[in-house]
Homo-oligomer: A and B are copies of this chain.
């Protein structure tokens, strides 16, 4: 199969859908990989990192879309990208169709085979392509929150971990899934007193067993929310 990797064009998107090692593995399996010149730069990979593995670098997205059986990219297609798609072509990316009727309509019109990362499930019903995004999101949420609490950022001037003799911040995390667990662990690592709420007691029991001791689990009901979150 010919697999095409266009450069991402959405604002503030620096990722690339395929690492050089991914190109290597696909090519070893008999596939052909076309990558747009400069597609890996935002993630620290040069064109030669890809060509060294056997991929071909092409200027601009037109030849990629024209030549590939399957397009692998990161973000949902932008209008200029949809225009390049061909009927029957497989497009593999985060689509988030539920968020845009317009995007959905256009993709249907193009008669592509759209495979949305965010909907793929594994044997146990989990979402393996969403999990790493959620891990990053959980960790970043605390990093951004810590920043937002700084006085020069118009915050309340609170340092999450406090210092000796000064109470650390209280952090409430609602939801003990992948995002919440990563947020709780990051906030606890910074020294905050963390409460993590969920309605799944089994999950809370597991979190009790593996979380650092400055994380407290709490069953989530309206009264608990009112008491700790307001």
Contact = CB atoms under 8 A, between A and B. Distances in A.
Interface in A5-48: 12, 14, 19-22, 24-25, 42-44
Contact of A20 (B24, B208, B210, B223): B223
Number of copies of chain A assembled together: 6
A164 B223 contact: no
Interface residues of A, number: 62
B139 A159 contact: yes
A111 interface: no
A183 to B, nearest CB: 12
Interface in A153-168: 156-157, 159, 161-168
A42 to B, nearest CB: 8
B132 A159 contact: no
A152 B213 CA distance: 29
A129 to B, nearest CB: 10
A27 B163 CA distance: 27
A210 B210 contact: yes
Residue from A22, A128, A151 having most chain B Cβ neighbours under 10 A? A151
A207 B165 CA distance: 10
Interface string A168-207: 1000000000000010001011110101000001101101
B219 A166 contact: yes
A113 interface: no
Given A19-B223, A21-B222, A189-B189, 4 more contacts: A14-B157, A143-B146, A163-B182, A164-B205
